[in-house]
Structure formats: structure tokens, C-alpha cells
Structure 1
Amino acid sequence: MTTAAARTGVTSEVGRLRTVLLHRPGAELRRLTPRNNDQLLFDGVPWVARAQEEHDAFAAALTDRGVEVLHLDRLLAEVMGVPTARSEVIAAAVDDPRLGATLRHATTAHLSDLAPEDLATALITGVAHDELRGGRGLAYRLMGRGEFVVPPLPNLMFTRDSSVWVGSQVAVTSLAMPARDRESALTAALYAHHPRFAGVDQLYGPQLEHLEGGDVLLLSPGVLAVGVGERTTAGGAERLARRVFARGLARTVLVVPIAQERATMHLDTICTMVDVDAMVMYPAVAGSLQAWTVTAGGELPDDADTTELSVEGPQPFLTAAATAMGIDRLRVIDTGLDPVTAEREQWDDGNNTLALAPRLAVAYERNTVTNAALEAAGIEVVAISGSELGSGRGGPRCMSCPVLREPLPG
């Protein structure tokens, strides 16, 4: 019997991808309206059927290249038959100060009565005021008919953010935006209770400082880069560094400040690895991005969160990364973009690629200039459509959580 440890583990961004966690967008996207899409972090109201077609094509492109695709909603439905898992996710769903005690009890009863598959659907799609059985209390009476007792999770398709694998362990992250904070409860339950992940250690948790998977790049075995900006805090980067050092999962963490803007919400909106020594990077920041080099500062104690840290820098990111990786230089694919085109393609997730292997990456087809530059540099591009998927500001890397990659040779 193959153990969970043999079927999980990620030590780089570009080792051949073997297993990935995706979430096919569903009815939760139909909850988006012009009134609530900003609050739910979408730039528009997507055409749901087309978004699903695009996502199906993305999943098929991975499967066609030998990648096992796990679907988050299916795994979640399977663990909703576990009483402890049910209790955990229901408690997270009703942990909302809007509800008050009476409506909280009514919502708990409603969710508790659902079959496992229906519960998984309700937690993802949300529960509207008029869908709640047994709704009562002042808060319920004052709610509008279309308001959500349990809000939907339309960003769940960006599976990269709520968990990230570092070596043999998984960091269930702490999401910064209120519209997304409940995603981590679902991910934590999945990793804790699904037999596929039995015995896997969780490196991080939703109750800790804000840390999102889109800000974590595994540049090479033992070397992480962590963006600090709109979503990940310096405290989150610090705690992750302490834990990966104490558990022997990394020797260097590069902490990279990025602009606290929606266009650059995560480090992987600026740069992603496409080869063992190469990345595609937004030209406007290539020369200015800085990094602080963090290493373990002394003896590693039993308590990971008290590990002493040594902090040096800042240095130019590319210089610090090459030094940490033990290579002469980290190549940047020269996209040759004029400033306007560069800004447009960065906004459209041109730098947010998913490496399937060294020199093989998935990218949105609409970023034609960036893709041409990648091809010219020897990177094979698997181009996928993303006109509707991109309305939530996420590309192929954002939409995928690698669970197993082959180790790099050497």
C-alpha cells in the first residue's frame, strides 16, 4: 500500500508535477453580482459556464501530461462524513459576529442536518437567507432575502493560497481578506481527515499571522522566497521561516517586500519559476526588487516558534536568490515588453505560470507577447484560455496547489 508520504511532497517550483489539487468553479460563482463582486474580490461578474469550460480545459491539459488531478470539492465531500471534520468546518462557518447567538444556533442546526455531499456544497456555495431552514432571531429578521447567512467562497478555485507544500509537510495558511478566511478551515479539515493525507504534518495554521501560498516560492530545494505585501505579513514570513528551519525543510528564506496593491497582491503575480535557474518576471520590478536573507541563527530548540533568526540585507532579489540557490545567476526571461504591454500582461497574470517540469509551463493564451518571449527562451508553453477565470485575478499557478513533484536531479 502506498503511504501518504510517498504520494506527497514538493521541494521546488519546477520538478515534474505529478499530483495537483484543483477546485472546479461551481455555483459559488453564480452568487457574484455587481453589488457584491468587489467585496468577494472579483473584478467583474464572470460567465460561469465559460469559466467552467476553461477550468475543465486546464485540468485536461494537466491530465494529458501525466498529472493526477485531485478535486477539492470531491475530497471535501468525502471527509464530511467524519464527525470531527464536520464539527470543525461548521463551527468555522458560523463564527461570524453578524449572526448573533440565535441565528448561529439555527445555522448550525441547518448545516448539521445535511448529508456529506450537500454539506460540502453548502460550505462552498454559501447559504442565503431564504435557503436557511429554521431561520429565526433578530439578526435573521433584519437580513434581506438575498443576504448570505454563510457567504459563498468564489475564490476557492485559487487553491494555491490556502495551502502550500514545503517538502513533506503542508502549510495550511492564514488568509488576509475576510472574504477568504474560511477557505483555510476547509483545507485544514481536508488535510487532517482525508485518508489520502493520513499522517501528513501541518506546518502552519489559519490561526497564525497572515501568510498566503501565492507569496511562497520554492526557488530550489532548501530555498524559499516569501513575498510580504498586501496579503502576507512580515510576522507570517518570520513564523514560517522559524518553522521550516526547525523542521529541517529549508536552510534559507528570502523575504521579499512587494507593493501593497491589488495588481501585485502576491509574489507570484510578479514572478514565477520556469526552469531550475530561470523565472519570468514583471519587467517594471526586475531591477528594483529587494530581498532580506533569513537563516537559522543558532541551535534549533524544541519549540520551533522560538528559533533564533539571522537576518541580512537587503540585497537585490536576483543576487540574493542566486547566492542562496548556489548558482552563478538566476536568469530572468527577457520579455522585451514596452511599459504599457508589460503592465497589461502583468494584470492579466502573464507572470503567473505553472511549471509542469523544467522548461515546460502552463500560461494564459492571451498574454501573447510574454508567451512568445518564453518560447524564444526555450520554454515550452501550454497555452490555456482564461478570459473568465481571470476575473478573480489569478493565473494557472494561483489555480493549482502542487501536492507531489519529482525531486530535481542532483
Structure 2
Amino acid sequence: MFKSMINVYSEVEKLEKVLLHRPGEEIENLTPEYLKILLFDDIPYLSRAVEEHDKFAKALKENGIEVLYLEDLSAESIENENIKEKFINDVMEESYIKDDILKEKTIRYLEYMTPKQIILKIMAGIRYKEIGICEEYKDYPFIMHPMPNLYFTRDPFACIGSGVTINSMKTKTRKRETIFAKYIFSYHPILGGQNIPRWYNREDEYCIEGGDELILSEDVLAIGHSQRSDKEAILTIAKNIFEKGEKFKTILIFEIPKRRAFMHLDTVFTMVDYDKFVLHPNIEESIKVNTITYDYKNKQLIIKEDMDSIRKILSKHLKKDIKLIRCGGGDKVVASREQWNDGSNTLAIAPGKVITYERNYITNEILYKNNISVIPIPSSELSRGRGGPRCMSMPLRRKL
């Protein structure tokens, strides 16, 4: 299945392998009173969401891309009984279950399941009634929170060059999501044995999420300092990448507004071709960029503010004339509406070829007029989670 290590040196080169998570029971475990805590604005209809997600996977496969699933890799990583026991104990510790009797009952409930059943159940969440405890007088029916954000596989870990960042998520709700990456890269029969470099670890102090990590070329990374990613984490990643001899020479820090509507860099800015980007026009003037390079002699980062426009900054670092394609064509109402439904969150599967949500038809038409081949997918339910095709995918390998 995996012939070689992680290889992602571009946002747009031919996609070869990608990681998805098919929405599951965790979506059914959303309730109105806990939507805010679980970072949702609405409850998707699971059956339709799965249909839409399967069409997404089909579009990828029809374009020669190998689709792997988080739930499968995670289950394969805990086949060994000792590792399975360790995984369950780690999950219990991170689920903040303090009562020893409750913890013991939950462990017993899980330990006789198959590895795949364990993974899916932990993703879905565990209710009191499942371990024989009456829920009548419980304010909240779950012992263990569901993980409804998991179908956005971009965020818990990110492949950069030949390595990965196993991310420290900003919200308590999403912290546990990265445990699957920890076990995959430690114990998976193939990935776990490849000694893949880790540019960041989930135990590190500051927060970073994959939606803020973009690979613009073999030489240039862009990382968003956003609502969900701390500048200190970006600096740690930069230091690790430079000191461990990865190819990248420059890291651009994009300062974006710290608001839910712009939660990650890729919700307002994605690459669609070597020389083209789609951008939410409402933030074009507010984005600030700092450039990080490395002084190898003195072993220190060099950080400078770049005062040019986004287009000029990108043109300078990518050494080509860059074109910005504005979401919604720059129309204030259209841009706001389509941005809310992730009009700027495109997934490039090859240079000039992207997957988008079909509901953003005006932005899609503008992309088409700019010689971008668009594969639109249905998203009436998937979009309720506030993430687009890039959010729902984690490239493991792109062709150089």
C-alpha cells in the first residue's frame, strides 16, 4: 500500500494518495444544545452526508488517486493486543473520565471489540446507557464526547515535505482527534516503521491546525496565524524544518483575522495552479505577511515583515506572475455567501484541476473562465460542518 514515505512538496502537483474519513455515527450524536461546544452550526443528515462524501471519494478515485481512510489506518495500528490496550488507556486518560468505576466499565465495554469497532466507537462517542447506566438524571448523555469534526482530516495532522506535524488542536473538543495520528505514525505496520520526521507533536505547548498549513512550492510554505494556530507553534515548526534539512527555504506567516468565519488560512485562501490562487476578497487588504528564513551559521530564525500586497509577495517568492481569483467575483453579497460555504476552500488534484462544492456556482464559473478545470461535488450536508474539499482531505503523497 505505502511504497515510500510521505511526499508533499506542493499544493497543486498530481495527487497520488489521500486520507479521508467517511462521516459516521459521530454525526448522529450531535444535539442542538451542544452544537457550539462541538463546533457545529447545524446537524447534518448523516445518510445524505455519506452519499456526498462517497461522491467526493469517487471523484478522487476516478482521477487515479488512491483513497485511504483514517478509520482503517487507525484500526490497523492497534491490531496488536498490547498496543490496543495502550490505545484504550490513552483514550480514557484524554477523555477526562475521573470516576474509577465508570472508567473500568468503559474499558470493559471496549476491550472485547475488534480494533475497527473500537476506533469507530471512540469516534462516535460513548453514552452512559451503553455501559448499563441510566441516563434519566444525567445532564449530558455521553461519557465520552463524539468527534463530529473528524471528516475534516486536514486539521489533526498535516504532511509537509517528507514529514508531518501531529497537531495540537486549539479546542478541547478536537484535542483527542490527533491520537489517531499518534498511533498511525507510531504503530501502523507500514507508516509506523518509516521513521517519518515530525515537525511538531501533539504534546507541544502551542496550538497549530492543518488548515493553516499550505505547501506553495518545494521552497516555500505558507502558515496561517489564525484563530486556531499560535505564532509560537509556527516558529517551532519552522525551526524543526530548517534544522533537520528539509528542502524548504522560506516560510510565510499569514496574519488573518481571528474569527470563526476565517478560522484557518485555507478557508480564505487556496492554491489552484502554479500561478493562481482563489482568495476571499473581504480580507485581501487585512492580511499581513511575515517572512521566515534561517541563518544556518548562527542557528537562528530571521523574521521580517513583508510590506507588499499579497499578489506581489507571492510573485516574489514563487518567482512568477501570480493571479488572484476572488471568491464570488468580488461581489460583496456573493463573496460572503459563497465564502460561508467554503468557496475559497478548493482541493487541487493536479495543476489547474480542482474539486469544489457545486453550491458555489459563481466562484466555480469564475475559476472555469480562468482556465481551471472544476469538478463540483454535492455538499448540502457536508458544508454544514463549515469546511470544504481541502478541509476534508489530507494528501499523503503528491507527484514531484
Alignment of 1:169-208 (within 5 A): 169-197=163-191, 198-199=193-194, 200-208=196-204
Once the two structures are TM-superposed, the CA of residue 88 in structure 1 deviates from its matched residue by: 3.4
> Which residue identity is paired with 1:149?
I
> Which residue identity is paired with 1:354?
L
* Structure 2: distance between partners of 1:29 and 1:96: 18
* Structure 1: distance between partners of 2:210 and 2:199: 13
* Structure 1: distance between partners of 2:93 and 2:135: 17
Alignment of 1:8-407 (within 5 A): 8-82=6-80, 83-84=82-83, 86-88=85-87, 90-97=89-96, 99-132=98-131, 144=138, 147-197=141-191, 198-199=193-194, 200-208=196-204, 209-249=206-246, 250-299=248-297, 307-315=299-307, 316-327=309-320, 329-335=321-327, 336-407=329-400
Contact 1:126 1:151 in 2 (8 A): yes
More deviation, 109-118/352-361:
109-118
More deviation, 105-114/67-76:
105-114
Provide Cα deviations, 1:241-265, integer angstroms capped at 9, x if missing partner.
1111112222111111111111100
Count of residue correspondences: 393
> Which residue identity is paired with 2:119?
A
Provide Cα deviations, 1:122-154, integer angstroms capped at 9, x if missing partner.
111111111126x6xxxx999718521111111
Gaps of 5+ in 1: 301-306
Contact 2:88 2:107 in 1 (8 A): no
> Which residue identity is paired with 1:163?
F
| Identity across the alignment (%) | 36
Contact 2:129 2:135 in 1 (8 A): no
Equivalent residue number for residue 4 of structure 1: 4
> Which residue identity is paired with 1:119?
I
* Structure 2: distance between partners of 1:338 and 1:51: 29
Provide Cα deviations, 1:313-361, integer angstroms capped at 9, x if missing partner.
142333333222233x321114523111111111110000000101000
Equivalent position SS for 1:35: helix
Contact 1:85 1:193 in 2 (8 A): no
Provide Cα deviations, 1:62-121, integer angstroms capped at 9, x if missing partner.
000000000111221222213235413531343244534443344334333332122111
Contact 1:130 1:145 in 2 (8 A): no
* Structure 1: distance between partners of 2:326 and 2:95: 47
Change (3 A) 1:143 1:260: farther
* Structure 2: distance between partners of 1:353 and 1:372: 13
* Structure 2: distance between partners of 1:40 and 1:235: 26
Gaps of 5+ in 2: none
Contact 1:222 1:251 in 2 (8 A): yes
Equivalent residue number for residue 304 of structure 1: none
Once the two structures are TM-superposed, the CA of residue 174 in structure 1 deviates from its matched residue by: 1.0
More deviation, 94-103/122-131:
94-103
TM-score norm. by structure 2 comes to 0.93
Contact 1:89 1:189 in 2 (8 A): no
